[in-house]
Structures are given as C-alpha cells and as structure tokens.
C-alpha cells in the first residue's frame, strides 16, 4: 500500500500513520458492508433495495461488475450509521493534511469506490476567505489532492476521481469569523448522479 | 498673452455606455501640505443648463490625489471670465497659488468645445491652456484629461485620472449570486459590464495597450483563463487544462501571458506565448507557486510561493532557474503588484490575524504597512505609481479602497449595492 504520488518528506510519517489508520479501517468497512442493507445485489430483479428487511436474503457487496442504482447509491450515502454519510472533510487553517477524525470517513469512501468501479467522484476543494484568492485556489486543490491520495490508497482508481478547486469562491457559510471559516475549509465529496 | 494649444482626441469616436450604479468615492483621510488650487466653475455659453460641472469633476480628482487642496467655490474671491486673467493679488491674499478657469461651448450637434487655462497667480502667468473638442457623452473624460494636464504641470508626474479600473462585482444572495466583470473610469463613474456570469470571476489583468483583459472564469465548473476585448467583446478561452488555470499577467510587450497551471500536479507558474499558444513551465515545485507579475524589463517574474512553508514573494528569471526570496517580514506575503518603475512592491501582508496592504521598497528594503483593514487584498498600482487600489471589507461586504503610495491619503469607493472586489488599475490610455 504505497502512494504512487511523490510526497514531501514531512508528509511521509503522516502518511504512514494514516495508512495504519486505514488498515484498521479496512476491516471495519468490510464488516459494515456485509451487513449494510444498501450494498446488496438486486436479487429480486425489481430494482428495489433488499437486505435486512428481507431475512434470509444473501447480502453481498456489489462486485466490480455490479451496477449501483441511483436509489442504492443515495441510500448508501445517506445511512447515518455509515461513514459514507459524511461527505465533507474539514481542514485546519492553511493546512492540507487530513485530520485524524476524517481518516475513517475517507477510507470508507475509498473502499466504496474500489468496490464500485463504475462510480465517479468529484472532489471540490475549498478554503476560508483569508489570504489571497489565487493562493487559496492552490490550497483548495491541495486539500482535494490529499483526500484523493487517501482514496487511492484504498483502491479507488484515478479515473474515478476528479479534483476541482474553488478556493474561497464558494463558501458554505457566509461570515468573517472562525465559526464560518471552520465550515468553509473543506473538501466536498460529490458522487456523480447523486444530489445531496 | 493667452496662448491656447489644440489637441485632437479620441473622444469623438464615441463608445456605447451602459449607465449603472456608480462607485461613490469617500475620502477618509487627507493630507497636510497639499497645494491650494481654485478650479473656477466653467462658463457655459449654450442655452439651458450646462451639460456637466467640469470644475467639480476636476476638483474631486485633484482632491483625491492628496496632492491638492481645492478651494471651495463659495469661498472664491472672484470668478474670472474665460478671457480674463485672474486678479493675482486677490488670490494670493487668500493663500491660493493656482487658479483654473474654463469655458464650455456648444459646437455642432452633440459636439462641444472645452477650453481651460491654468494660472500661477504667484508668478502672475499662465502655465498652460488647451481647447478640447468633445462629444457630449464624453464630457467627464475631458475633465479627467484636464485633471491630468494640471496634475502633470504642477507635480511633474504624469496624471492617472484619465484611466480605468476593472473589477468584479457580486450581487444577489446565496444561489442567486451573480458575478460581473466591470470596467469603470478611475473615479468610479461610467461602469460598464464586459462579462456577466452566475459563476465566480477572478483576477482581471489588463493588456499593456489597455485593449484586452485576461481573467479567470468558473463558467465551465472550474477555473479557466479567458481573454476579452474591453470594447468589442470578442472573447477567447486561453487555458483550460486539467487542474487550476489562473492568475494571468501580461508581459510588458503584450506578447506573452504568465499564468498558473497545475495540470494535475501542484500549481506552477508558466508562460504562454500568445501568438502560438506554446507554454513554458517556469517554476517546478510541490509548493503552490502562483500570482506572477512581470518586472517592467520583462526579464523576470515575481510570484507567491509557499515553498518555505508559508506564502512569500520570490523572483525568478523568465528563463527559469532558482527563484530568489524577496520578503521575510511576517508569516504571509502574497498577491504582488509592482510599481511601474519596478522599484516598489505592493503585497497582501498577513500578520497578527489580519491581512493588510504593505509596500516593500526594493532599493532601500524599507517595508511599510499602508492600510488598516482586516481583510485587505488585491493591491494594484496606478500606472503613474501614485496610488494603490485594493479590495477591503466594510460592514461585512467587499468594497474597493485606494491609498497613496506614501500611505498618507486613504479613500473608499463604494458600490451602491452588492460587493466589489479584485480591482485592477488600467495602463495609461494610448
């Protein structure tokens, strides 16, 4: 498990730590997936979701060739019990390293993408309003690239992920205070075909 | 003897004008020791009302520069007629050194003639005088040109009143936000929208001939660089590579454009040859390298990089090579604008949780913080180097402000509604 991307030396230790987190996360994600009512084949062929509501139905994660219907995708991404329901990663001021609390979330998305190769994800990097607009465009991209690298460590492929930076141009929250800034320093994970 | 020279002007060509809410200018801090000057209201020889108060426009310009203290017209001891010479003793007694008198005459159709004279009442002589033929729609511009002539005659520096400012305005709440790239006269009047979009617009940059503006638009869902004619509207997409396409800056000869491209990696400074669109990569680093501006000789670029951990300004040759760090003061220095002579560097300076505009004199190494805001950004030098326009926040919304390059005169330009940001002062008119 090694990033194909060159990383600055300072980040190596961090990556190592993150990788360790992710190794732990892999197991829990797989476990979640096996009982997750969302990630099942459409055994009944009726385009509807089946799972724990239908005892006895075999629940297996979708394979690489499987298709995830928009409903199944929506359901997978909105189950509050699943880390997949969290699709915004927040960052510290002028930082692009992922905070420990989001490592599991990103790992879950990475594994989800790896299992569902037909899925496409857009990573939108954002910053708070402080500093110059052009520098923030760079910073937003760097944040999105951090998330992208971690997704790929889980087996997501580069062709599934598109990175876009909006810098400080699309704040989630208006305001010039730390509360607003915290909400604006973020990467949004946006699945193609899924409106949040 | 009164000597009047004649000059022919482009004013007669006439350009369509869209009338919109003008920027209102408030001078927030003046300067002591400004030159007292009296601009006598111009005589109107036509019927009805005078079409414009040229003296008031000239007054406001001169006042705004911080170099002049215009005399209130109610306090003027006399109002000499256009063919009269001011009564020197009368003005000298009141401490006024210079007097401007003028006349506005109808010609044929929409054409008018503006005539003015500048007198040195202490020396009891005329310093200069012109007649300017002008279309009615361009009377304000005639006043700006007269202001430039007066400014240059009395300070020795070229005036920058007859120039323009490009900026981005933002109106509407939330999802209904609308962005517009606008160009207005340097005093905020006559704003025209040259591009409108529901998506963000950034970083307008004037071509050296003042004919085109390069800028960043998100209209296709990500940052791309466009170039557009200021007057015609012809528009071309110049850069739409994977990743970031931003921070355009024209070379002094107008043949090349510096820009930031990430092309899937880290943002680096590149140069595009505009004739054939070939691109040369200038910086190579894993850091954010962006916001390049050209030195006046076109041989090097100054840009922002966080290669040392925090954003600072660096200089690099256009042939590449190792960049040299220029700023060491404070944790954050970015968004550079160079004075026209290349000596002074204005920047966004972040320290103590505030972002303000600072100036570095590259010869003396003197570093001076010029503004007192919390979120001041996008400094842009006037083409004569006398003022710096920048974006700031007032009452939670973005406005434009300007500060004299010596930090002594401050003014604010307020749009009636919405926000204004990303100002870029035009070059001199050619």
The residues of A whose Cβ lies within 8 A of any Cβ of B are: 6, 8, 94, 129-135, 137-139, 141-142, 163-167, 169-170, 176
Q: Give the tokens for residue A178.
A: 């730390």
Angle between helices A103-115 and A133-153 (to 10 degrees): 60
- pLDDT tens-digit readout, B6-28: 443 333 333 333 334 455 555 55
pLDDT bracket for residue B5 (50, 70, 90): very low
Burial of B414 (0-12, 13-18, 19+ CB in 10 A): middle
Name the residue among A142, A146, A145 with its Cα closest to residue A131. A142
Could you tell me which chain B residue has the CA closest to the CA of A142? B266
Q: Is B142 helix (H, G, I), strand (E, B) or coil?
A: helix
- Percentage with pLDDT > 90 across chain A: 58
Helix (H, G, I), strand (E, B) or coil at B425: strand
Q: Is the pLDDT of residue B370 over 60?
A: yes
Q: Do B291 and A6 touch (CB under 8 A)?
A: no
Q: Do A169 and B218 touch (CB under 8 A)?
A: yes
Q: Are strands B224-229 and B212-217 parallel, antiparallel or unpaired?
A: antiparallel
B11 by DSSP, 3-state: which?
A: helix
State the average pLDDT over residues B356-375: 95
What's chain B's average pLDDT?
Answer: 90
Is 50 exceeded by the pLDDT of residue A10?
no
Rounded to whole angstroms, the Cα distance separating B264 from B242 reads 6
Q: Is the pLDDT of residue B47 over 70?
A: yes
Sheet of B224-229, strand order: B201-206, B212-217, B224-229, B235-239
Taking CB atoms and an 8 Å cutoff, what residues of chain A touch B262? 138, 141
The pLDDT score that the predictor gives to residue B26 is 59
User: Is B164-425 in the same CATH topology as B5-155?
Assistant: no
Q: How far apart are CA B202 and CA B385, in angstroms?
A: 23
Read off the tokens for B199. Answer: 């998506």
Interface pTM, i.e. ipTM = 0.90
Give dist(CA B52, CA B162) in Å, integer: 17
Q: Which residue has the higher pLDDT, B235 or A4?
A: B235
Would the CB atoms of B311 and A131 count as touching at under 8 Å?
Answer: yes
B176 and B202 Cβ atoms separated by less than 8 Å:
no
Domain boundaries of chain A, sorted by first residue:
9-191
Q: What is the pLDDT of residue B275?
A: 97
Residue B388: strand, helix, or coil: strand
- Strand segments (E) across B176-275: 178-185, 192-197, 201-206, 212-217, 224-229, 235-239, 245-250, 256-261, 268-273
Q: What does the pLDDT look like over B334-351, one tens digit per residue? A: 999 999 999 999 999 999
Do residues B270 and B279 lie in contact, with contact meaning Cβ atoms separated by under 8 Å?
A: yes
CA distance linking residue A151 with residue A80, whole number of Å: 20
- B39 CB neighbour count, 10 Å cutoff: 31
What integer is the mean pLDDT of B312-324? 96
Under a CB-based contact definition with an 8 Å cutoff, are residues A188 and A88 in contact?
yes
Check residue B409 and give its pLDDT: 83
- Cβ distance B215 to B181 under 8 Å? yes
User: Which of A137, A158, A164, A172 would best serve as a mutation to test chain B binding (most B beta carbons within 10 A)?
Assistant: A137
The pLDDT of residue B329: 93
Tokens in use for B257? 């454009």
Residue with token string 């202490």: B122
A-chain CB neighbours of B288 within 8 Å are: 135, 138-139, 142
User: What is residue A5's predicted lDDT score, i.e. its pLDDT?
Assistant: 44
Structure tokens at B147: 């202001």
Which residue in B202, B288, B375 is closest to A129 by CB distance?
B375
CA distances (Å), origin B354, targets A192, B330, B357: 39, 11, 10
Q: What is the arrangement of strands in the sheet containing B312-317, beginning at the earlier edge strand?
A: B289-294, B300-305, B312-317, B320-325
> What CATH topology corresponds to B164-425?
Neuraminidase (2.120.10)
Nearest CA in chain A to B393: A176
Instruction: Note the pLDDT of residue A70.
Output: 85
How many whole angstroms separate alpha carbon B178 and alpha carbon B375?
22
Tell me the range of A45-59, A61-75, B47-61 where mean pLDDT is highest: B47-61
Comparing A64-73, B118-127, B163-172, B250-259, which segment has the lowest mean pLDDT?
Answer: A64-73
Looking at per-residue pLDDT, the higher value among B298 and A9 belongs to B298
User: Minimal Cα–Cα distance from B392 to chain A, Å?
Assistant: 12
Q: Which of A5-19, A156-170, B27-41, B262-276 has the lowest mean pLDDT?
A: A5-19
A138 with B266: Cβ contact below 8 A: yes
> Rounded to a whole number, what is the distance in Å from the CA of A76 to chain B's nearest CA?
26
The pLDDT value recorded for residue A6 is 45
Q: How far is B236 from chain A (nearest CA, A)?
A: 21
Q: What was the pLDDT predicted at A139?
A: 97
Break chain B into its structural domains and give their ranges: 5-155, 164-425
CA B206 to CA B34: how far, in whole Å? Answer: 31
Spatial separation of the C-alpha atoms in residues B336 and B347, rounded to whole Å: 4
Instruction: Considering only residues A69 and B105, tell me which one the structure prediction assigns the higher pLDDT.
Output: B105
Q: What kind and span of H or E run contains A189?
A: strand A186-191
Examine the pLDDT at A181 and tell me if it is beyond 60. Answer: yes
Q: Are strands B410-414 and B397-404 parallel, antiparallel or unpaired?
A: antiparallel
Q: Per CATH, is A9-191 categorized as 3.30.1330.60?
A: yes
**How far apart are the CA of A174 and the nearest CA of chain B, in angstroms?**
9
Q: Are B379 and B389 in contact (CB under 8 A)?
A: yes
Helix (H) or strand (E) holding A178: helix A178-184
- The percent of residues above 70 in pLDDT, for chain B, comes to 92
d(CA B330, CA B310): 10
A-chain residue closest to B351, CA distance: A131
At B413-422, the pLDDT tens digits run 876 678 999 9
Residue in the block written with tokens 């385009």: A47
CB A112 within 8 A of CB A74: no
Looking at the predicted structure, is the pLDDT value of residue A3 above 90?
Answer: no
A90-99, A151-160, B87-96, B278-287: segment of lowest average pLDDT: B87-96
> Is the pLDDT score of A75 beyond 60?
yes
B222-226 LR contacts (CB < 8 Å, sep 24+): B222/A164, B222/A165, B223/A137, B223/A165, B223/A167, B225/B257, B225/B259, B226/B195
Distance CA(A135)–CA(B24), nearest Å, equals 30
| pLDDT at residue number B25 | 57
Please determine, for residue B118, whether its predicted confidence score (pLDDT) is greater than 50.
yes
Q: Which residue of A has its CA nearest to B347?
A: A132
Asked if A166's CB is within 8 angstroms of B200's CB, the reply is: yes
User: Could you report the per-residue pLDDT of B238-260, keeping only the tens digit for each?
Assistant: 999 999 999 999 999 999 999 99
Question: Does residue A46 or residue B177 have the better pLDDT?
Answer: B177
Instruction: Give dist(CA B376, CA B394) in Å, integer.
Output: 10
Assigned token pair, A22? 């992710």
Average pLDDT over residues B362-371: 95
CB < 8 Å to B244, chain A: 137-138, 141, 165
Closest C-alpha to B401, from B26, B21, B22? B26
Domain B5-155, CATH homologous superfamily name and number:
TolB, N-terminal domain (3.40.50.10070)
Confidence (pLDDT) at B297:
97
Euclidean distance between CA atoms A102 and A88, whole angstroms: 9
| Average pLDDT of span A154-164 | 96
Q: How far apart are CA A159 and CA A63, in angstroms?
A: 18
**How would you class B74 by CB atoms within 10 Å of its CB: exposed for 0-12, middle for 13-18, buried for 19 or more?**
exposed
Q: Which residues of B touch A164 (CB under 8 A)?
A: 221-222
d(CA B135, CA B233): 23
Smallest Cα–Cα separation from B187: which of B21, B67, B60? B60
Residue from B201, B202, B337 to probe the interface with A (highest A Cβ count within 10 Å) = B202
């Amino acid at each position: 498990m090694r990033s194909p991307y060159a990383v600055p030396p300072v980040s190596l230790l961090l990556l190592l730590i993150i990788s360790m987190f992710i190794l732990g996360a892999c197991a829990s994600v797989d476990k979640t997936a096996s009982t997750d009512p969302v990630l099942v084949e459409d055994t009944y062929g009726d385009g509807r979701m089946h799972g724990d509501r239908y005892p006895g139905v075999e629940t297996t994660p979708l394979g690489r060739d499987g298709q995830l219907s928009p409903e199944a995708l929506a359901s997978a991404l909105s189950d509050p019990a699943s880390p997949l329901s969290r699709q915004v990663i927040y960052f510290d001021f002028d930082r692009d390293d992922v905070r420990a609390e989001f490592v599991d979330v990103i790992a879950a998305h990475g594994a989800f993408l790896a299992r569902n190769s037909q899925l496409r994800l857009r990573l939108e990097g954002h910053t708070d309003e402080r500093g110059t607009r052009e520098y923030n465009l760079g910073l937003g991209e760097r944040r999105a690239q951090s998330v992208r690298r971690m997704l790929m460590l889980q087996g997501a492929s580069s062709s599934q992920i598109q990175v876009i930076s909006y810098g400080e141009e699309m704040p989630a929250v208006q305001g010039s205070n730390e509360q607003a800034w915290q909400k604006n320093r973020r990467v949004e994970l946006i699945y193609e075909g899924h409106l949040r | 003897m009164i000597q009047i020279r004649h000059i022919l002007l482009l004013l007669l060509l006439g350009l369509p004008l869209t009338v919109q809410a003008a920027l209102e200018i408030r001078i927030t801090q003046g300067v002591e020791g400004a030159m007292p000057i009296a601009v006598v209201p111009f005589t109107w020889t036509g019927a009805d009302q005078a079409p414009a108060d040229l003296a008031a426009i000239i007054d406001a310009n001169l006042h705004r520069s911080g170099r002049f203290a215009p005399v209130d017209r109610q306090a003027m001891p006399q109002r000499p007629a256009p063919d009269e010479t001011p009564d020197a003793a009368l003005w000298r007694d009141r401490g006024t050194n210079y007097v401007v008198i003028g006349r506005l005459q109808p010609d044929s159709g929409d054409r008018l003639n503006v005539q003015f004279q500048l007198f040195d009442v202490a020396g009891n002589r005329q310093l200069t005088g012109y007649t300017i033929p002008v279309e009615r729609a361009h009377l304000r511009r005639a006043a700006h040109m007269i202001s430039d002539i007066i400014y240059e005659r009395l300070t020795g520096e070229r005036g920058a009143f007859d120039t323009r400012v490009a900026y981005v305005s933002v109106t509407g709440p939330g999802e209904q936000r609308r962005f517009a790239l606008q160009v207005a006269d340097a005093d905020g009047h006559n704003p025209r929208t040259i591009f409108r979009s529901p998506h963000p617009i950034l970083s307008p940059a004037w071509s050296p001939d003042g004919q085109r503006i390069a800028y960043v638009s998100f209209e296709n869902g990500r940052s791309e660089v466009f170039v557009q004619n200021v007057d015609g509207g012809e528009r071309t997409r110049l850069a739409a590579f994977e990743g970031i396409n931003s921070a355009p800056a024209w070379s002094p000869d107008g043949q090349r454009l510096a820009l930031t491209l990430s092309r899937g990696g880290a943002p680096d400074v590149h140069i595009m040859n505009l004739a054939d669109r070939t691109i040369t990569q200038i910086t190579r680093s894993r850091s954010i390298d962006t916001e390049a501006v050209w030195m006046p000789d076109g041989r090097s670029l100054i840009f922002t990089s966080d290669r040392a951990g925090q954003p600072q300004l660096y200089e690099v040759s256009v042939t590449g090579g190792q960049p040299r760090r220029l700023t060491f003061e404070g944790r954050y220095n970015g968004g550079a604008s160079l004075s026209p002579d290349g000596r002074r560097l204005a920047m966004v300076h972040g320290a103590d949780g505030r972002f303000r505009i600072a100036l570095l004199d590259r010869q003396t190494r003197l570093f001076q913080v010029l503004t007192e805001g919390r979120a001041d950004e996008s400094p842009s030098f006037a083409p004569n180097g006398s003022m710096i326009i920048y974006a700031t926040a007032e009452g939670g919304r973005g406005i434009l402000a300007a500060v004299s390059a010596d930090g002594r005169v401050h003014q604010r330009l307020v749009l009636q509604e919405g926000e204004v940001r990303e100002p870029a002062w035009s070059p001199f008119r050619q």
